[in-house]
Amino acid sequence: MAEFTLELNDDQKQVRDWLHGFAADVMRPAAAEWDEREETPWPIIQEAAKIGIYSLDFYAQQYFDPTGLGIPLTMEELFWGDAGIALSIVGTGLAAVGVLANGTEEQIGTWVPQMYGDADDVKLAAFCSSEPDAGSDVAAMRTRAVHDEATGEWVLNGTKTWATNGGIAHVHVVVAVVDPALGTKGHASFVVPPGTPGLSQGQKFRKHGIRASHTAEVVLEDVRIPGHCLLGGKEKLDERLARARKRAAAPGGERVRNAAMATFEASRPAVGAMAVGTARAAYEVALDYARTRTQFGRPIIDNQGIAFQLADMRTRVDAARLLVWRASWMAAAGKPFDSAEGSMSKLYASETAKEVTAQAVQILGGNGYTREYPVERMHRDSAIYTIFEGTSEIQRLVIARTLSGMPIR
């Protein structure tokens, strides 16, 4: 187990600087264009694939960094470049993690490489969980998966929403209900292979921010998939459902659901790192502007009102990063989030991104309100962090109930 340290090793510094160069030289010059176009930035993704950033090998190396800092370093630098383009680059990882977390070794080896393709034939993947009536309330999920005993296939019906890469992905990972009586314990994950009849893209959303990232509904109409597309396999699913039924009927069943909820904590620091990247970018633009913009014969940073804002902005960015790093290291070290440290990092970093980008707009004044300066886009992008991967309200609920010992439902 790696000791917690704030000192990056040489390999981490090299990766950080490499990512920063790509973000500065490739992503930032293209950010405004793809934000306006509201389209997936295929040329940028292909460029990332050519140099190895968009690849299974790269993300595997960062994921298995024993310090836990590989993923947050990656997310911060890419989202420092541009949030919309960055989400297009890392969005496939959501589906890959879904397979890694639930699939067999054979399924992982089969499907995860197909999600990325290669530099000459780039592919995307989509993770489909949220529904029109089941966002924060995952227990309200309605998409059903029914096993056809005669053919051994699974039949999926329902509508997913807010799916990054939804409908344009090569591979879709879909969470569906197999036993409604068990609530969230009756859910299972399925891979829908490319070209499967019945899966189609529904509404493509026109968004306030992260507009270079494709977000859409995914409609499933009698989608029939082979039995081997159930992640983990049917035998494992049947055993899990049997245990869930037994535990739900026994005293302490509620605690079983709490333990399941706690597993989601591990993914939240990565979203916190995304928010840190956007917040840091806005702070740096505001700092540079305050140093060079003159009013009343002196740079505006000489005014205490501006200087204090920048001091608060920098403090919040650094504090958010520290919370993200702590939670990331704890997850890698296998330490339990007894105080909901994962949710803490995501909550504080998300709120920091909204606050810091708003302050950056204010410091730039009228210029900050125009699309001639990037803080306007950064401010729009930052709104998503307090919404996806669990809203700020859900994070506060998880933290409060973890500290109080109350059930997390």
Least confident of 194-208, 303-317, 387-401: 387-401
Kindly report, as residue ranges, where domains of CATH 1.10.540.10 are found in the chain: 10-122
Per-residue confidence at 155, pLDDT binned at 50, 70, 90?
very high
Question: Which residues neighbour 220 within 8 Å (Cβ) at sequence distance 6 or greater?
Answer: 143, 156, 157, 158, 159, 160, 174, 192, 198, 199
Could you tell me the fold of the domain covering 125-242? Butyryl-CoA Dehydrogenase, subunit A; domain 2 (2.40.110)
**Is the predicted pLDDT of residue 299 greater than 90, yes or no?**
yes
Least confident of 98-107, 230-239, 249-258, 341-350: 249-258
Q: Are the beta carbons of 182 and 249 closer than 8 angstroms? A: no
pLDDT of residue 140: 80
**Of residues 95, 50, 58, the one with CA closest to residue 74:** 58
pLDDT of residue 183: 85
**Is the predicted pLDDT of residue 101 greater than 90, yes or no?**
no
Kindly report, as residue ranges, where domains of CATH 1.20.140.10 are found in the chain: 262-404
More confident residue, 2 or 79: 79
Average pLDDT over residues 20-37: 98
**Is the predicted pLDDT of residue 261 greater than 80, yes or no?**
no
Q: Find the helix packing angle between 70-81 and 304-332, rounded to 10°.
A: 140
pLDDT of residue 301: 97
Average pLDDT over residues 251-255: 50
Q: Are the beta carbons of 184 and 138 closer than 8 angstroms? A: yes
Burial readout 139-158 (b: 16 or more C-beta within 10 A, e: otherwise) = bebebebebeeeeebbbbbb
**Is the predicted pLDDT of residue 150 greater than 90, yes or no?**
yes
pLDDT of residue 258: 32
Kindly report, as residue ranges, where domains of CATH 2.40.110.10 are found in the chain: 125-242
pLDDT of residue 255: 43
Distance CA 202, CA 162 (A): 11
**Is the predicted pLDDT of residue 391 greater than 60, yes or no?**
yes
Distance CA 39, CA 214 (A): 7
- DSSP one-letter string for 346-385: HHHHHHHHHHHHHHHHHHHTTGGGSTTSTHHHHHHHHGGG
pTM (two decimals): 0.92
**Is the predicted pLDDT of residue 251 greater than 70, yes or no?**
no
Could you tell me the fold of the domain covering 262-404? Butyryl-CoA Dehydrogenase, subunit A; domain 3 (1.20.140)
Per-residue confidence at 188, pLDDT binned at 50, 70, 90?
very high
pLDDT of residue 409: 57
Least confident of 53-57, 209-213, 215-219, 244-248: 244-248
Strand (E) positions, 205-247?
215-225
**Is the predicted pLDDT of residue 363 greater than 60, yes or no?**
yes
Average pLDDT over residues 190-198: 97
Tell me, yes or no, if 47 is annotated catalytic. no
Q: Are the beta carbons of 275 and 385 closer than 8 angstroms? A: yes
- For 10-122, which CATH superfamily applies? Acyl-CoA dehydrogenase/oxidase, N-terminal domain (1.10.540.10)
pLDDT of residue 262: 37
Out of 76, 77, 389, 393, the active site residue is 389
Average pLDDT over residues 221-249: 91
- DSSP one-letter string for 83-122: HHHHHHHHTHHHHHHHHHHH--HHHHHHHHHHHHEETTEE
- Residue 135 backbone phi and psi in degrees, to 5: -100, -90
**Is the predicted pLDDT of residue 290 greater than 70, yes or no?**
yes
Average pLDDT over residues 49-60: 95
